[in-house]
Each structure stands twice: as structure tokens, then as C-alpha cells.
A and B are shown apart, each in its own frame.
Chain A
Amino acid sequence: MTLPHEGPQEAPIVPPPPGTIADLFQEALPDIEFTATQGAVDVILIVAREDVPGVLRTAKDDPRLDLKYLRCLLGVDHMDGGLEVVYQLYSFTHKHGVTIKTRLPLDDPRVASAASIWKGADWLERETAEMFGITFEGHPNPVPLLLPDDMTDHHPLRKDNPFAQMEEWQGLRLGAEASKAGHIPAGYESIAGEGGEEDGG
């Protein structure tokens, strides 16, 4: 296995084998285009954001899919690739699950809210909204969940939101630039204090 050593890499699209949940989606939604890829555990469906409400509604209501359980809803910041919203669904009757993903452009991060489909989406969307600056249209109560109400100027989980110097340093100490005891990376002298590292890293 060769691994890339520089720069972020996207996972390749691997079409899932026939007979997975992707075929059921194709049956239930013949008019909607989506890309299916086999993830490490679940099948991942990538849909356009205009199709999200229709796909989610069908996923829950269609008896062939019956994905009544919203396990998880989250955002991912792909920097130049835009923001991503991920829905993790499961069906208790058919015992199958699926990941649905959609990309939103950075300059217009809007997507329809799923709070009217699953009650549990309410808080999860509030969290994703505050952390990434995504607008969930039609959300019944779009206020911050974990962050203070007045903290609207930056979104912590975006990649352009920087780490504190201390947090960067912690990542460097034992990480890729692991160094010998007493070594302080350039630029971090002020927080290292007198005498450098005492515990020897």
C-alpha cells in the first residue's frame, strides 16, 4: 500500500457491489442522480443538495428503505471543495444502514432542514450550523446549541479557524516533528517557559 505523504487526498470512488442498499435507492428514486461509493463500513450516497429533502423523505417513508433512525448528522469542511453535510441512517426493520452526503458551496452554504423529517435532527442541525456556518432552511429553532448565543462571527470547526499556539505545539511535540527532550520548535519559545521541556517529551 503506497500512501501519500503530502497534501490532502480524496478517497477514490469505489462503486459498491450489486445487491447493496444503493440499488434500493435507485429503485425508489429513479429520477434522482446520485453517486454511490463503498465506504469502510457503509455504502455512501452523494446527492445534490437540491435533492436532499426528497431523498431523505423517501429514505424514511419508502417501505423498501424504511430508514426511520437518524443516527448522526454532521458537517465536514473540505476547504476549497466546499462544506459537506453527512446523514447517517439506519433501518430497524431491514437492518441496513446508509450514509448520505451532500456538498454545499462555501459562498452559499444552505441546505434544507431535516428537522421536520426526524425530530432528533433538531439539535444535531443546530450544532452543525454553529460549528460550520451552515444554514438549515426551515429549521424551527435556529439558535446555537453548544456555543454562546453571541458567538456568531466565527465557526470553530471550519478549517480556516486557527488553533491556539499551545494546541499547535501539543500536536508538534509528539507528532510528526517529534524531537529530542529539551527541544523547542521555532516560534514556540514564549509558551515553553523557562528551562524548556522538563518531562523530556
Chain B
Amino acid sequence: MLTDQERELETLDIHVNVGPQHPATHGVFRMVLTVSGEKVVDVVPHIGYMHRGAEKLSEGMDYRQALIYQDRTEYLAQFNAELCYCLAVEKLAGLEVPERAEYIRVILTELNRITSHYMFVGAFATDIGVYGTAFTYAFREREYIQEIFDAVSGDRMMYGYFRPGGVVWDVTDDFKDRVRWVCGQTRVGIDDIDRLLTKNEIFLTRCLDIGVISKEDAIDYGLSGPMLRACGLPFDLRRAEPYSIYDRFQFDIPTGTRGDVYDRYLVRMEEMRQSVRIVEQALEEMPDGPIMPEKAPRRLRLPPGEVYMRTENPRGEYGIYLVSKGGEKPYRLKIRSSCLSNLTALKQMVVGHYVADAVVILGSVDIVLGEVDR
């Protein structure tokens, strides 16, 4: 029997439902937190609200059509996703990509990495409570790059600009000038955000030693990208298994030491600077010439075979497992989602922290629900 005093102190774990419609979940993500007081003791994530069957739909399309599902899957780093798909198809088809197209692709892909990380910084700062300022700074800078994408592809979101073999049409005449200007502007923009957040006392208090994950656990969970590098493992597919023309460029791979939320932020900030470096090098070397192979078949038929193509996307390793059995349509197209794998470690990171930190940790994973659910 409990005494009256003990009964008064008895606590009950309660469930707190976050999402699916909740500003802190970055889309339609739902997690059920079990809290004891302010501490989280368990978390059950629920995903699939945005499952559209992109893999199945791709099986009904020919290789040219199936490309568009990449934009709709990874809607914050569309060029990166398109590149991975195109590389997978080219690998099986044996298509040679012209030099100019390779450079255009790399420039756009790296710029897309910057816009994606801008999105992260803005949303993440909002999660922490730096309401407004960082978000508007990030979105102002993002818009400069967005305008280039718009001019090149004709669309602000669903670009559909890459093709197996190259790109669909050549870039605009003022492309080089605009990109050169945006590179300088991006350096300024990153410094602005840097001065606003990085050494901010409140920001540091909210971030340091929150959501720590060890290197061993990170590997076991299959984390990738900035999440993995924040744990201290300098693994970047652009360096480890160079694809496209990434072996020609100089860039550093930033890593963290603590594996916490703050390290993930720092890694992403530095990655943006490295992306600018890559873009500037690519601009210098970009040749003139064709943008599609001369003998590019209008209707692509792939020989039977299979390939797992992976690229380093802003959120980690994005993979396309493509099975062809001959013919014009993919027999099976699996999208390896970096966000899905990064999200599997959520429970490990959140349990033991306060409810308010759960939001910060989820923000640091930088999920795109379109890619998680596909």
C-alpha cells in the first residue's frame, strides 16, 4: 500500500501526439512521444502519410517518363535525385555523357545542395526558436539560386531538366555570369547566417550535446550524409566512390567530433562553402559543346541487368536500384531514401531528452517527407 504522501508523488507516463499536421514535423510526419514529466521515455514514429507509390508508378513509365518521379520524391534537392536516376540508367545503357552536360549537371547539383541546406538552416533555426530572422535570411539567399534554376529549367520546383545521356536543353546565355555572381553572394549569405547563429548563446545551449549518436551506432543504423559525418566519419560518396566528374574538383569533407545536433549544423554550413568551391571550379573548366550524345536514342531500351547507383545528396546517400529485363520500362526501381535511414535512429537520439529537444533533434535530421514515404 502506498501512503498518502507517496500517492501524491506517483507519476503517470502520458502520450503526446505530435503531427501529422504540426509545424515542427516538416511535413506530414507523426510521432507519439511517451513522456514522464518533461522527459521523453519512448517515441514511436509513424510515416507513410505521403506515400504515393513512386516506385510502382515508375514501373509503368518508360525511362524518360520515370524521371519526373525523382523530382516529386526528393523535392528539396531535385537535381541531385535526377542525377542519381540518370546515372543509373546511363550505367546500364552504356551512354556516354558529353563534357558540357557533365559540368552543367555538377554546377546545378551543387547549387541545389546549397538551396537545400539553406532550407535546413532556416527551418532548423525556427525549430529552435530563432523565429523569423534566420528563416528570412536563408530564404532571401535561396531565392537568388532559385531564380537561376527557374531560368534554366523553366520551373521553380519540378525541374525535370536532366535526361539519361545529358540535359534537355542548353543553359541560358547569361548562365555563367549569374552563377558567378551567386557564388559570391552565397559566401556573403552564409557568413550572415553564421554571425547570427553559430556563436549565439541561446543557439548553443539548445544544440550542444543534444541528440548525440556514436559513430558505431550511426553506421549500424545506416545513417549517411551530414548525420554520419557529424559523428566523425569523413565519408562522402563524391570522394569515396566518385561519380560523374567529381574526381576533378578540390573540396574538403567537414566532419564533427561530438555527433550532436550542433555538429550536424556546423557540417552543413561548411558543406555549403565547399559546394561554392566546387561550383567555382566547375565554372572555370566548363567547355562548350554538345549537351546530349550524338547518337542518343529517342526511345531508350536497356539491356537486362541491374545496378545500384548511389550519389551524395544533401541529406545523405540517395540510391537507385534499377532492374532491367530488356524493354523500355524499368522492371523494378527502388529508391534508397537517405531520410528514411536517418530517421530510423530517431528513437535512439530522442529518448532521455526533454520534449522541446525532440523537436530540435527531428529538425537536425533534416527530413523530406516526400523522400521518406516516396
**Is the pair A123, B344 in contact by a Cβ cutoff of 8 Å?**
yes
Which residues of A pack against B, CB within 8 Å?
A: 1, 3-5, 7-12, 39-42, 44, 68-72, 74, 76-77, 86, 88, 92, 95, 99, 118-120, 122-124, 127, 144-148, 156-157, 161, 163, 167-168, 170-171, 174-176
Chain A residue at minimal CB-CB distance from B348: A119
> Which of the 9-residue segments B169-177, B264-272, B315-323 touches chain A?
B315-323
**Is the pair A68, B220 in contact by a Cβ cutoff of 8 Å?**
yes
Is B65 an interface residue, CB under 8 A from the partner?
A: yes
> Which of the 9-residue segments B124-132, B142-150, B178-186, B332-340 touches chain A?
B332-340
Which residues of B pack against A, CB within 8 Å?
A: 47-48, 51, 53, 55-57, 60-62, 64-65, 91-92, 94, 217, 219-223, 233, 235, 240, 299, 301, 303-310, 317, 319, 321, 323-329, 331-332, 334, 336, 340-341, 343-345, 373-374
Chain B residue at minimal CB-CB distance from A156: B56
**Is the pair B308, A147 in contact by a Cβ cutoff of 8 Å?**
no
**Is the pair A71, B336 in contact by a Cβ cutoff of 8 Å?**
yes
**Is the pair A163, B220 in contact by a Cβ cutoff of 8 Å?**
no
**Is the pair A99, B308 in contact by a Cβ cutoff of 8 Å?**
yes
Taking a contact as CB atoms closer than 8 A, the residue among B306, B329, B334 that contacts A39 in the complex is B306
Given A9-B325, A74-B334, A120 and B317 touching (CB < 8 A)? no
A interface: dominant SS? loop
**Bound complex: CA A86 to CA B319 (Å):** 13
List the A side residues contacting B220 at CB < 8 Å. Answer: 68, 118-120
**Is the pair A41, B331 in contact by a Cβ cutoff of 8 Å?**
no
**Is the pair B219, A68 in contact by a Cβ cutoff of 8 Å?**
yes
Most chain B C-beta atoms within 10 Å of own C-beta, residue among A12, A120, A145, A156: A120
Taking a contact as CB atoms closer than 8 A, the residue among A88, A157, A176 that contacts B62 in the complex is A176
Chain B residue at minimal CB-CB distance from A128: B334
List the A side residues contacting B47 at CB < 8 Å. Answer: 145-146
**Is the pair B219, A157 in contact by a Cβ cutoff of 8 Å?**
no
Taking a contact as CB atoms closer than 8 A, the residue among A120, A170, A174 that contacts B221 in the complex is A120
Taking a contact as CB atoms closer than 8 A, the residue among B55, B306, B328 that contacts A11 in the complex is B306
Taking a contact as CB atoms closer than 8 A, the residue among A5, A8, A118, A148 that contacts B331 in the complex is A8
List the A side residues contacting B64 at CB < 8 Å. Answer: 174
List the A side residues contacting B94 at CB < 8 Å. Answer: 1
Given A163-B60, A171-B61, A8 and B325 touching (CB < 8 A)? yes
**Is the pair A170, B61 in contact by a Cβ cutoff of 8 Å?**
yes
